[in-house]
Amino acid sequence: MSPQPQASVGAPLSRVDGRLKVTGGADYAADHHPEGVVHAVIVDSGIGRGRISGIDTGAAEAQPGVIRVITHRNAPTLPYRDNAGSNNPAGGRRLRVFQDDQILFHGQPVAVAVATTLEAAQHAASLVKVVYDAQPPSTDLSDPDVPTNTPTTYARGDAQAALDSAAVRMEMTYRLARNHHNPMEPHATVARWDGDRLTVWDKTQWVIGGTQTELAAVFGIPLESVRVISPFVGGAFGSGLRTWPHTTIAALAARETRRPVKLVLSRRQQYFGTGFRPACEYQLSLGSDRSGRVSAMVHDMRTETSTYEPFGERGILPLGQVLYDTPNVSQTYRTARLDVNTPVAMRGPGFATAAYAIESAMDELSYELGIDPIELRVRNEPEADPSNGNAFSTRRLRECYTTGAREFGWDRRDPKPRATRDGDWLIGTGVATGVYHTLRNPAQARVRLDADGSALVESATSDMGPGTYTSMTQVAADALGLPMRRVTFRLGDSLMPNAPLHGGSLTMASVGSAVLNGADQLRQQAIRLAVEDERSPLYGADAGTVVVRNGRLHVPDNPSRGETYQQLLARNDRAGLEVLGTYTPVQNRFTIEAYAAVFAEVAVDARLGLVRVRRMLGVYDAGRIISPKLAESQAIGGMVGGIGQALLEHTVTDHRDGRIVNANLADYLVPVNADIIDLKAIYLQGEDMDADPLGVKGLGEVVLVGVAPAIANAVFHATGHRVRELPITADALL
Amino acid sequence: MSTELPESTVSPPTRAPFTTSRRTFIATTTLAGGAVVAGGLFVGPNALGDESAAEPPSGRVSLTVNGVRHTVMVDNRTSLLDLLREHLDLTGSKKGCNAGACGACTVLVDGQRVNSCLTLAVRLDGAEVTTIEGLADGEDLHALQQAFIDQDAFQCGFCTSGQIMSGVGCIKEGHTGSAEEIREWMSGNICRCGCYTKIVRAVDHAARGK
């Protein structure tokens, strides 16, 4: 951090965009209405595999208000250039909208109806008649005959030999259902062409690298011809990391009709029009001695992907390599090619999946050996990264557990399963570890100080909810020596300096470091201007000692010697100062991760199998916390997401035709207010200066990762019944 | 898109729908503070297609939204939510599911909280509608709006309009006796960012005038 006094960073401030959000003034993608905008509604495939043999748009086109119906028969050929560097899975061929008659999954777009009103477009879409040559789709991950892509493997030591010779051997298979992000805001794109230039208002987590580059590639136009605007994102959790077909369809429809077009996916269409956390089968064998030292782990994982793109959960492997000091590890990870749309990263990608299996297995081992689950974890805690010998930058997982155990009252726990009752309810507690690696990507931010002493900071990043607007303002305010109200942070426009994807918990470390760099540079520029200016009271002062507070430059040991930014700029006849802040991650010899110890107490109705999470506690080692009030919201939100994953969320496919049968918020269950009782988050005070200049390690993922296994372990403790499948539903407990 | 007509030119509900159209089926006359504020005729873009196709049935509705009276010709298929968002430029109410399952579209109709996505606009003759845009008193936020900011009862903000309107209804109904009661009566509003504990706190604080 800079030598500046920290007035805003670390203070429990309210969101700077709070007023907009509580008055309905925050404009999300579908809230934009360019002059003359018309509406588009997608017609999606009613079969899971095959081809379109006939399509009749006559009735749809005859409807009043209908402008055009576009299908593969009348759509222009689109260039679909490669877009390496985006989140399109390498080695795949992305779905090309309306380019041929092939159907690759149930719900694939087959037509789009464009009309002057939404009602007319919806009705027209319902009137498009499509005839198919249908083939039975393959959508079942558990089908052993499904073809798989080349596996990813990892090995250290000799896991099989160590397993064979271990005093205790356990072999489990865990299953995780497919989950959908289901952000409250449906994906939406408003597209407008001005000549050969395209503007889209889009829901995206990657304004430049994800959406701008993809639209340029799909339409074969220069990057500069595409502008992407995305000031507010109504949640995403990963679903906005790629540009999905509907965005291309909106732009195509706008070009074909020469009108601005608004296209909002229906809630149902989210389920196949955007990605999902793929279902997973996770076989885990472990070997241990009687004291609980785990000598071997063999991981065999399998997740869903589409036939046209090999999406792999890159985060599914690292946890099994670094979480425990296990000398012998082997991993084999396969993706199964199914007639589904392509998955995408979802909060805590891979790590959350692996943590459920590994942390459930450790819990099972703890009961097998009669060792407290926390003590078992401590006995296997590595001193250095067991995958490469690197030191951890900071790893305070033990402290997370110590603090958590004290706060949660772990010592009052009767270790025996099914031993605690409260009337009809069986009570249990469980713990699990959460880990997420600290990602950092190059980023830029423009910082401008105006003659009136206010600052504007811009970067083409996003704010899907964590509070980017607020936290960046805090960082800039302190580095510039300005109060929060004098600093404005803007984001979400491809005309702004480049920023990485807003996901993987990397925004604070990456964009925040660029903001810090830009604000530090600018402040130093102003200080230099002052100390070299004969007319300044600071003339001749040592630039290194000058600080700025409340917009006034001064020497700390003589506060009366100083002047304001306004005075300095006015006297020098400067309209302002402007700097481009940059951040480039430094490769170092550390393994850098954020950690969580998660505690859960559940009550299970002994007769009905109903599970209620009575309370949860998360204790986090996540480096410096820039914005404590917002960080707490992130953490409890991660717990709510994990409660959903553990107990409710399950995308169900009818394998006969590939249709998702619960593609709505009444049947795909997510936690509601009545499900959430008592959640508490504690962040360990600290910073990790080996991670990045801000000392942060990322929050958004780690707060979800250990939640589901903590709940699953608590359910076992309550009932004595081990359910190895998520979500844990009542029927599994009866 | 809306077509604004002087009051006298608005078709009576019994008359056949506009003969001018195949374009847009809404006409708006706004009466603010008793004075007629009428826009000129705006002719929407002409559609392509069959001249013989029937116009969709529409109806005339007079309703008050945030204290402003609107008399509109509305496509019978139009929900209150789409009327607000697509025709009256009140985009604060959100469409999260369009099926009454998420609550993001919650507004007050005659003081009662309703899912505006499930409410046909044409049924609202004489209704008083309050949306998130009409909750504050000028610059002064409603106590619940302020409580949402103070408690950080939102993250992405997309469900927030609905949560607050629902919370206003919940307080008015007197369903704020305990945290448990608030949780139950606020369960029609999903928050995917997971701010429930803070939403409960915000509703509780506003209810108690804290």
Q: Does pLDDT of B7 surpass 50?
A: no
Q: Secondary structure of A257-308 in the HEC alphabet?
A: HCCCEEEECCHHHHHHHCCCECCEEEEEEEEECCCCCEEEEEEEEEEEEECC
Q: How far off is chain A from B7, nearest CA to CA, in Å? A: 23
Task: For residue B81, give the chain A residue with the closest CA.
Answer: A118
**Residue A64 and residue A197 in one domain:** yes
On whether both A297 and A374 belong to a single domain, the answer is yes
Q: B60-77 pLDDT, tens per residue?
A: 999 999 999 999 999 999
Final residue of a domain: which of A253, A273, A293? Answer: A273
The reply to whether A304 and A408 lie within a common domain is yes
SS3 of A687, please?
coil
**Same-domain pairing of A218 and A96:** yes
- What is the rounded distance in angstroms from the CA atom of residue A544 to the CA atom of residue A542? 5
Q: Which residues of A541-556 are buried (b: 16+ CB within 10 A; e: fewer)?
A: beeeebbbbebbbbbe
Q: Which of A24, A184, A236 has its CB closest to that of B92?
A: A24
Asked if A250 is an interface residue toward chain B (Cβ–Cβ < 8 A), one would say no
| A46 plus A74 within the same structural domain | yes
CB burial of A293-309 (b: ≥16 within 10 Å; e: otherwise) equals bbbbbbbbbbbbbbbbb
Question: A127 lies in which domain range?
Answer: 32-135+184-235+240-273
* Global pTM value: 0.94
Chain B neighbors of A632, CB-CB under 8 A: 152
pLDDT tens digit sequence for A303-337: 999 999 999 999 999 999 999 999 999 999 999 99
Instruction: From residue B193, give the alpha-carbon distance in Å to each of A375, A461, B125, B155.
Output: 33, 19, 36, 6
Domain ranges of chain B: 3-96+119-131, 143-207
Same domain, A114 and A218: yes
| Distance, CA of A542 to CA of A533 (rounded, Å) | 13
pLDDT tens sequence across B127-140: 999 999 999 999 99
In a domain, A160, yes or no: no
User: According to the model, what pLDDT value does residue B31 have?
Assistant: 38
- The last residue of one of the domains, among A583, A601, A624, is A583
Catalytic choice (A458, A563, A649, A701): A701
Q: Does the structure show a pLDDT above 70 at B26?
A: no
Same domain, A319 and A219: no
The residues pairing with B27 across neighbouring beta strands, listed in sequence order, are B3, B73
Question: Would you say A712 and A360 are in contact if contact means Cβ atoms under 8 Å apart?
Answer: yes
Residues of A (450-479) whose Cβ lies below 8 Å from B: 464-467
Which segments in chain A show pLDDT lower than 70?
Answer: 1-2
The pLDDT value recorded for residue A67 is: 98
Q: State yes or no: ipTM above 0.90.
A: yes
Is residue B33 pLDDT above 80, yes or no?
no
Is the pLDDT score of B37 beyond 50? no
- Same domain assignment for residues A258 and A318: no
| Co-location of A530 and A620 in the same domain | no
For residue B190, the chain A residue with the least C-alpha distance is A672
Q: Based on the fold, state whether residues A231 and A356 are members of the same structural domain.
A: no
Structural domains in chain A (count): 3
CATH number where A459 lies: 3.30.365.10
Q: How many residues are recorded in chain B?
A: 210
pLDDT tier at B17, thresholds 50, 70, 90? very low
* Domain end point (choices A531, A566, A583): A583
pLDDT at position B27: 38
Same domain, yes or no, for A201 and A230?
yes
Let me know if A601 is a catalytic residue.
no
Partner-chain residue, chosen from B45, B161, B186, that has the shortest CB–CB distance to A116: B45
B143-207 folds as DNA polymerase; domain 1 (1.10.150)
Question: What pLDDT does B210 receive?
Answer: 65
A151 within some domain? no
Q: Do A339 and A190 share a domain, yes or no?
A: no
The encoded tokens of residue B35 equal 């004075």
